[in-house]
Each structure stands twice: as C-alpha cells, then as structure tokens.
Amino acid sequence: MSYPFEVIPSLRREALMRLISDGKRSDGRGLYDYRQIDIKVGLVRTADGSALASIGNTKVIAGVKFELGRPFEDTPGEGNLIVNLETPPLASPTFEPGPPDENAIELARVVDRAIRHSGFVDMSTLAIVQGKSVYALWVDVYVLNHDGNLMDASLLAAVAALATSQVPKSVIDGDVVKLDKSTKVPLSVNMDKMPLTVTFNKIGKYILADANVEEEVLSEGRFTVAFSGGDVVSIQKSSGFFTPLEVEDMMSRGLELSKSIRAKVVESLGNRPESFII
Amino acid sequence: MGGKSPVPLLVDGKRVDGRLPEDHRSVTMRVGVLPNASGSALVGYGNTVVLAAVYGPREAMPRHIALPDTGVLRVRYHMAPFSTDERKSPAPTRREIEISKVVRQALEPVIFLEQFPKSSIDVFLEVLQADGSTRVTSITAASLALADSGIPMRDLVVGVSIGKIGDTVVVDLNKLEDNYGDGDMPIAVVYRRSWITLMQADGSWTVEEVKKAIGLAFRAAEPIYKMERDTLKGRYSEQAIVS
C-alpha cells in the first residue's frame, strides 16, 4: 500500500537497501521467505464462519454470514458472493475513518475475484429456488493490524473462514423462504481449488515476497498472483512496472510459495481456540 | 464470465465478429478534440469509444493532496450512463474506483511527475460506448491525451486486452467475449522499454498461457504504439499548417 505519509529516515532506507542487495532483510528473512503464518478459526460465535489470519504482525479477521437474497439476473442458479473489506483506524496510524478507500476496494475486489474464479465455493449449492431465492454469502474482512501484505492476509482469512463456515438451513413454506439458524450444515468447498495469493514487491532491482509495511513504503512496484490448484486465477499489478521476465519469475516462484502456504492453511483449519484471542 | 453465451464465441477458429484469435479490432485515434482541456484524445477499439481529457499541471486542490517534492497524478475512469445496454447509474461504482486506481498506476511510471511539485495532473476518462476492453482503451486514450498536453513522458503507454475462449488465447475482447469468455487479462505495455504497467487477470490460466498472453500483448501493442506516435505527429504538423 502506498501510504505517502509514512516516511523512512534516509539512513535507515540506505541500510535496508544494502541488506536487500545482499539478499537479506531487516527481520532476517531471505527475499522470498514469508513471515510466520498463523490462522485461527471459529473465533466469532455470531458469524457463520470466521478466521483470524496473521502474517507476522499483520492481523486480519474475516467473518462469513449467510442471508437470503435474490439471484443476479445472469446467474439465476447461483448464490451471491459479496466481499467487503474495511481498514479501520485502529489497525494503523495511516488509516482514517470513513467508507472503504481505493486501497480497501482494490483488496476486496481481488479477494472476490480469486474466490469467484477458483471454483473453491460451488455457488450452485447456494441456490434455494431457481431464479427466485438464493443465499447471499457475505465475506466481511477486517484489518486489525497493518504490517504489510494485507492482500495475502485478507485472502487467507477469507478462505479459512469459508472453509470452516456453516450454512443455516433454508425452509421453504409455500412462497415464503426462511432461514433456520438453529440447523446448520458445513459449506461445501473444494479444498483442491482453494485460492491463495502471493504478493511481490520490487525494491530497486530486487523482488521480494511478503513485504512488511516498511518494505512496502520502499517499494516501487507491487504484483499479486492468485493460484488455485496450480492455475492462475487472478493477477493484480498495482504500482510500478515489471518486465515480462520478472512476471514469469514471479509466476513460477509464486506457484511454489502458494503450495507451502496452502499446506499451512490446511493444517490450521482445526486450530479452533476455546476463547477469543488474537 | 458467468452464464452461457447466447451464441458460440469461437466457430472454426473464427470469433463472433469474424476475427481470428490474434486479431485486434480496428483502432481509431484523434487527439486535441476538446478545446478546454490541456490535452485530449478520442480512442476507439472497435465499438468501444473512450474520451480522455487532461487538465494540468495545475495547483493541487484540495491543498492537502499536494506533495512538496513531486506532482500527483489523479485519474477518474467513468462510464457514461448511456454507454451500456442497460442504463448505468452515474454514481461511481467499486469497479470504477478500482479501475481508476490501476489505470493511474499504469500511467505513473512514464510521467516525470517529479518535475511538478505541489501540482496535480488530472486525467478524466469517459467511456462513451462500451463493447469490452474499456480499461485498456482508456489507457491508450489517457496516454495520448497526456502527450497531447505536452507533459513530459518517458514513453507512450498502450493498453491491450487478452482473453480466453475455451483453451484459445485471444486478443482484444469484445463485450460478448468479456461477458461469457473463460478469462480476461488486461495488460498495458510501455513498448520500447518492455515494461508492463498494468496487468490484471481473472478466469483460469496456466502459467504457460500467461506467458503466451504477455507475448501476444506486446505483439498487438506494436501497431497501436506506432499509430499513437503518428497521430501525435500529425497533430503537430496540422498545428504548423494552421499557425
């Protein structure tokens, strides 16, 4: 995220650049290493599914809610997926109150596209009465602490919340459709198609994965790739420019990184804390 | 994407409008079309028509957006209510806000913004007629309008959309292909520097297909890049004759 009001003293900037040119980073990582990923599911009892994803000090919580809705005209037999993302001022000194800004809207839309095009959630299972009544699947993503790479953390939280969410039963009574919140069944997801993003930043001529917020301020280019089952399902180049060779390199490195992140998510889906801890 | 196309999108290797997979629609360009603007351009990719206007460099307003060491580029991408089959509400949508951001970031790398501290350069893009590929048409139009305004630039930018119909990678999606195709990948290239300044994708792509798409984007960009240069040169020779 390019937050123009966060500045780095030039001495620190020079030191960081020197480290990066040696293939190192201020927190001891290599250029393509992720920080520690931690996922907790089921924290929010009022949600139908929830997950808290941490990448280092970046913390993002996602809550899933099922409501009744009318299908969109072009998809009469599918539920409606709606992704919203908020960057509340408690998460960073650079966030301000107000409706989602262009950064938050971009994040939400990339999360939305990655889920939509991956086939992770079979949206046809969320139709209730063809052309008339469907589930609206709300995915609300909240940033709690911003230390860089909100993109990857947001999708991690969203997919972990979806993978562990419970759909309230629909009851059809004549022309009236209602939800029975007391009876729930797990949302059907295809774990082989779980979408995950890998985000790269360019600093000088170097490309690194999973930038922290300081590295994001130094960044001259940002590139996100979403993978699902080995395929690319979404790309978002944000700032800067990239050569075709750099893009190809990020594709192949991203694919490998997404496999290890995926393993981490799968092993975390049973991590259901007793109490609400972040 | 979503739903089934009312007509087959690819029959015997030909697309709904008769093009081959790697054919671009005809491209039209005019610059200097708006007298009030510092620079302007009207660009058509087939039936998609986008009007671009540049105002500035001018004093950044409101003042708090001004930066002491560099100019700021602002881009507003907007679709006219009459540009689509169903009337589009004129209120900016989340889609338009996102596109405004990525289009801005497609242009920033080529503009010498540091020459205009405390100033803003404002680019306004109106889609007047939409038939797919509106964001890449907008990038070409914005690049032309910026050059027309005389703002110093490293090079021109060209937008090209790449898509997928089944397993076939195609160039320059029209509306039907955009709505019912199997993948969409808008790309902006800075041709002489081999830079990619906008790249998005949805649908489902293999890594090999992504590589192919980049190659096709550069190939399709070459004649459009030449046309941009010729259009701008024509503008200056026109001016020379009039004055």
Which of B2, B94, B204 is closest, CB to CB, to A75? B2
Flag if A233 and B100 touch (Cβ within 8 Å).
no
Q: Searching chain B, which residue's CA lies closest to the CA of residue A101?
A: B97
User: Residues 85 to 124 of B: which have CB under 8 A from any A CB?
Assistant: 94-95, 97-98, 100-102, 105, 108-109
- pLDDT surpasses 50 at B213: yes
Residue A272 neighbours by CB distance under 10 Å: 12
Q: Searching chain B, which residue's CA lies closest to the CA of residue A104?
A: B98
B70 touches chain A (CB under 8 A): no
In CATH, which superfamily holds the domain spanning A10-268? Answer: GHMP Kinase, N-terminal domain (3.30.230.70)
Residue among A111, A57, A121, A62 nearest A224 (CA): A111
- Residue-level pLDDT at A1: 42
- What number is the average pLDDT over the span B22-28? 97
Quick one: pLDDT band at residue B226, thresholds 50, 70, 90? Answer: very high
**Which positions in chain B touch A244 (Cβ < 8 Å)?**
194, 196, 211, 214-215, 218
- Residue-level pLDDT at A187: 97
- pLDDT surpasses 90 at A277: no
Alpha-carbon gap, residue A158 to A60, rounded angstroms: 9
Residue-wise pLDDT for B98-125, tens only, equals 999 999 999 999 999 999 999 999 999 9
Flag if A236 and B200 touch (Cβ within 8 Å).
yes
Least confident segment among A112-121, A255-264, B71-80, B229-238: B229-238
Alpha-carbon gap, residue A207 to A19, rounded angstroms: 13
Q: Specify which residues B132 forms β-bridges with.
A: none
B10 close to B166: Cβ distance less than 8 angstroms: yes
User: Between A and B, how many residue pairs show a Cβ–Cβ distance under 8 A?
Assistant: 105
Residue-wise pLDDT for A159-213, tens only, equals 999 999 999 999 998 889 999 999 999 999 999 999 999 999 999 999 999 999 9
- Residue-level pLDDT at A132: 93
Model ipTM?
0.79
**Which positions in chain B touch A239 (Cβ < 8 Å)?**
105, 108
Q: Where are the alpha helices (DSSP H) in chain B?
A: 94-107, 134-149, 175-180, 207-242
DSSP secondary structure of A237-271 = E-SS-B-HHHHHHHHHHHHHHHHHHHHHHHHHTT-
Q: Searching chain B, which residue's CA lies closest to the CA of residue A248?
A: B211
- Residue-level pLDDT at B239: 60
**Which positions in chain A touch B98 (Cβ < 8 Å)?**
102, 105-106, 109
B33 touches chain A (CB under 8 A): no
Fold classification of B10-242 (topology level): Ribosomal Protein S5; domain 2 (3.30.230)
Name the percent of chain B in helix, strand, coil, to the closest 5.
35, 35, 35
Radius of gyration of chain B (CA): 18
- Residue-level pLDDT at B243: 45
Question: From the CA of A75, how many Å to the nearest CA of chain B?
Answer: 6
Residue-wise pLDDT for B3-23, tens only, equals 688 999 999 999 999 999 999
Residue-wise pLDDT for B170-202, tens only, equals 999 999 999 999 999 999 999 999 999 999 999
Structure token digits, residue B1: 């994407």
Flag if A231 and B2 touch (Cβ within 8 Å).
no
C-alpha distance from residue A106 to each of A102, B101, B102, B122, B170 (Å): 6, 8, 9, 21, 26
Domain boundaries, chain A: 10-268
Residue-wise pLDDT for B55-97, tens only, equals 999 999 999 999 999 999 999 999 998 899 888 998 999 999 9
Residue-wise pLDDT for A17-41, tens only, equals 999 999 999 999 999 999 999 999 9
- pLDDT surpasses 70 at A248: yes
- Residue-level pLDDT at A82: 96
β-sheet with B72-79: strand ranges across: B27-31, B39-45, B48-59, B119-129, B72-79
Which of B98, B108, B205 is closest, CB to CB, to A106? B98
